[in-house]
Chain A
């Protein structure tokens, strides 16, 4: 199967080409088949490839396919070459499989949209780019995918471009991720300068020989790459774009802004783990950023009213967990959390999309309610997703993936109690807002009549994903419970295993605490939003609490801060210099010439006497010159 590796990104690309060039003239059904079909085919190939990989792993640990030499100038030689090792396969699987489900969902979800073809074209292009990102065997190609997904994200956030707000959101997403990308590009330059290559395998191999641990250069490189990851993955301090990015259609949020693209940063760091390992400082930075982000975003998620924004902040927060895991060196845990997160978060977005569509594009959760019975399938799947998000112990995938992270946050060699505290606080918050979401949306009285019920093309993906959100966790059990570790076994072919501290308390204690915290979160949510709503009413009276609420609602004021700090000065500079100061300089020169012309014109006054005076001045000048 591996000789068809190239088909995995090529099929979506083909879909994109057909749809973008001929989309206008195709029937919607054809479009749907092409759009979803290509991804589905890619998913099929991936699954077959995965089976082949598991059965007979390649000697080098990766399938590699050289497509063509991209460019080589001087010592820089870059090939369009794709590779698939265990890490990549995880990502490919998520991208194609979840992607295919989302595509299928979209065929129904977008059925009324005028730009049906454009949507699928963009989605296919996105899948293609994302696949290129994860399959690239060198950083330039990775960067291609990296920017490609950025473009698609931009296109899809602004899919309904006629609303200016959507365009602004799209632009914002592009700008902010571009900042990270630029830092990453600088990182690539530095990397190339130091190592003379951008081939990932070469870098991984050469870096330990070339750099000493803690070298300034390697730290710098790692931090710059990290900046790229932060931008893409919406981590502190570049997280502000993601909540706004919810302006796009729900499948887009599911695919791009939950399951795949936003985890590109995780992929990058995991992929370049050697560099990070060489730089303890950068590892710490990754962990701290992850921990802070998960907490800050989680807090914001607690008070949001827009269903998609809740999920968006939740996504930021969950990716924070992944970063935390990466930062403490729990590589496979991070990837595993990515894996499960893809399922349940995609599910949540899709379900939310179904709810929103059913309620006539109502986003505010407090105008929903009581959907438990009227939207049965959606409710059940949403429940599965929310439970997984809240990491309900043992029965959900989220538990299996989040629990190790909590454990390693303390227990890994790089771990630290403070990180753990933040992570555990995050777990509480997560459980709380999951409960809040569920209770407000599905319980209580009905506030908006239900319109369209989702059809089977929408529910089937939901169900599959729902199953995934529960079952995906079973491929990796904690060591101390069942010790079934299929996932980490595979991933650890690529990524190093986590190093634990000495003399740790039992893991079970931590699991217990985590479970307790989760339940505490659930209970708090239950109390505040179901059993005793009066408390909340009481809090609403307090100005201080309201201020805090608004502060959290606005995402901790980052937007305002950046607006004042960067956007305003930039706009100011561009506005005052719209007319180009240099233009003024040259116009000044021209004006000076004209003024001299005016002065000289005065000498041409037509008076003969004056002209003779000119002669006199001339001769005076000449004679004076001779005297001197």
Chain B
């Protein structure tokens, strides 16, 4: 199982790198799916099968599909890819990457400073999660309901298209 972790970690990192470097949105999203699937494998190796499943269904499934849906709807294709390709020159990405890498190195150094503990993985099964979720965290769960409601109301309002696109006083 250790091996699974390392392999899937590698896959996740590699897929993520690919995802953030693709020019075509659909390609990027597909790599992202791979990355999420690999993450699901990591979760599995961490003894959380429930989360692994959710990762696949919600992240790789629902959310990515939402993205793809929007990409399709806006018909973002070659133009966007070309635009991004023109944009993503070393001049543009080198600086941020350097800074972020410094950040990464610093974070890793800090992490390594912390005492290293070996985790002993035991499966925490969905039942336990559910008990916790509907027990002590029930209010949080309800609040998440409101969170989603806010999301829905907001998305519904903002997503609405008016016939007139121009502001009315402009015409």
Q: Which residues of A contact B (CB under 8 A)?
A: 613, 616-617, 619-620, 623-624, 626-627
Contact = CB atoms under 8 A, between A and B. Distances in A.
- In this complex, the interface size class of chain B, counting residues with CB under 8 Å from chain A, is under 10
B96 A626 contact: no
Contacts of B107: 623
A422 B109 CA distance: 100
Interface string B93-117: 0001001101100110110000000
A626 to B, nearest CB: 6
Contacts of A613: 96, 99
A626 B109 CA distance: 11
B110 A627 contact: yes
Contacts of A627: 106, 109-110
A611 to B, nearest CB: 13
Contacts of A624: 106
Contact of A620 (B103, B109, B110): B103
Interface of A is mostly: helix
Nearest to B100: A616
User: 3 nearest interchain CB pairs?
Assistant: A623-B106, A620-B103, A627-B106
Contacts, number: 21
Nearest to A613: B96
21 contacts: A613-B96, A613-B99, A616-B96, A616-B99, A616-B100, A616-B103, A617-B99, A619-B103, A620-B99, A620-B102, A620-B103, A620-B106, A623-B103, A623-B106, A623-B107, A623-B110, A624-B106, A626-B110, A627-B106, A627-B109, A627-B110
A619 B104 CA distance: 11
B122 to A, nearest CB: 32
A122 B83 CA distance: 93
Interface of B: 96, 99-100, 102-103, 106-107, 109-110
A617 B100 CA distance: 9
Contacts of B103: 616, 619-620, 623
Given A616-B99, A623-B103, A627-B110, 17 more contacts: A613-B96, A616-B96, A616-B100, A616-B103, A617-B99, A619-B103, A620-B99, A620-B102, A620-B103, A620-B106, A623-B106, A623-B107, A623-B110, A624-B106, A626-B110, A627-B106, A627-B109
A623 B109 CA distance: 10
Contacts of A617: 99
Among B96, B100, B106, the most chain A Cβ lie within 10 Å of the Cβ of B106
Nearest to B113: A627
A626 B113 CA distance: 11
Contacts of B109: 627
Contacts of A620: 99, 102-103, 106
Among A613, A617, A620, A623, the most chain B Cβ lie within 10 Å of the Cβ of A623
A617 B43 CA distance: 31
A450 B110 CA distance: 113
Contacts of A619: 103
A616 B103 CA distance: 8
Contacts of B102: 620
A613 to B, nearest CB: 7
Nearest to A612: B96
B32 to A, nearest CB: 19
B77 to A, nearest CB: 23
Contacts of B96: 613, 616
Contacts of B99: 613, 616-617, 620
B93 to A, nearest CB: 11
A616 B96 CA distance: 9
A106 B5 CA distance: 122
A583 B129 CA distance: 71
A623 B106 CA distance: 7
A624 B103 CA distance: 8
Nearest to B107: A623
Nearest to B109: A627
B89 to A, nearest CB: 14
Contacts of B100: 616
A560 to B, nearest CB: 72
B102 to A, nearest CB: 7
Contacts of A623: 103, 106-107, 110
A624 B107 CA distance: 9
A616 B102 CA distance: 11
Contacts of B110: 623, 626-627
B113 to A, nearest CB: 9
A620 B99 CA distance: 8
Nearest to A616: B99
A616 B106 CA distance: 13
Among B96, B102, B103, B107, the most chain A Cβ lie within 10 Å of the Cβ of B103
Contacts of A626: 110
A576 B107 CA distance: 60
A627 B102 CA distance: 12
Nearest to A623: B106
A555 B102 CA distance: 85
Nearest to B99: A616
A613 B109 CA distance: 22
Contacts of B106: 620, 623-624, 627
Contacts of A616: 96, 99-100, 103
A624 B99 CA distance: 12
A616 B110 CA distance: 17
Nearest to B104: A623
A614 to B, nearest CB: 12
A623 B99 CA distance: 12
A592 B109 CA distance: 40
A619 B96 CA distance: 13
A200 to B, nearest CB: 86
Nearest to A620: B103
A344 B109 CA distance: 107
A619 B110 CA distance: 13
A613 B100 CA distance: 10
A399 B165 CA distance: 115
Nearest to A627: B106
Nearest to B95: A613
A51 to B, nearest CB: 105
A548 to B, nearest CB: 86
A612 to B, nearest CB: 9
A617 B99 CA distance: 8
A613 B97 CA distance: 11
A196 B20 CA distance: 93
B78 to A, nearest CB: 23
A365 B106 CA distance: 102
B76 to A, nearest CB: 18
B105 to A, nearest CB: 10
A239 B97 CA distance: 85
A609 to B, nearest CB: 8
A313 B106 CA distance: 93
